[in-house]
Amino acid sequence: MTKKFTPLTFLILLTLASLSGCNSPQKEHVDYKDYDLEKPEEFNMPESLFEISGIAFKKGNSDTVYAVQDEDGKLFRLGYGVNKQLHAKFGKKGDYEDVSILNDQAVILKSNGILYTLPLSEAIYEEPENVREIKNLIPKGEYEGMYGDEASGNLYILCKNCKQDDSRVSVTGYIVKPGGDSTQTVGEFSIDVKQIKAISDRVERGFRPSALARNPLTGDWYIVSAVNKLLVVTDVNWKVKQAYHLSGNTFVQPEGIAFDKAGNMYISNEGDDLSNGNILKFKKKKSS
Per-residue model confidence as pLDDT tens digits over 169-213? 999 999 999 886 778 999 999 999 999 999 999 999 999 999 999
For residue 288, pLDDT over 70 is answered with no
Dist. CA 152–CA 188, nearest whole Å: 15
pLDDT surpasses 70 at 16: no
Per-residue model confidence (pLDDT) at position 277: 96
Q: Mean pLDDT over residues 236-246, rounded?
A: 97
Say how far residue 124 (Cα) sits from the centre of its chain.
26
Q: 81-108: string of b/e by CB count within 10 Å (b at 16+)? A: eeeebebbebbeebebbbbbbbeebbbb
Higher pLDDT, 65 or 34: 65
> Residue 88 has what pLDDT?
98
Q: What is the pLDDT of residues 111-149, one digit of tens each?
A: 999 999 999 999 999 999 999 999 999 999 999 999 999
Strand partners, 78: 65
pLDDT at residue number 182: 75
Q: What is the mean pLDDT of the chain?
A: 89
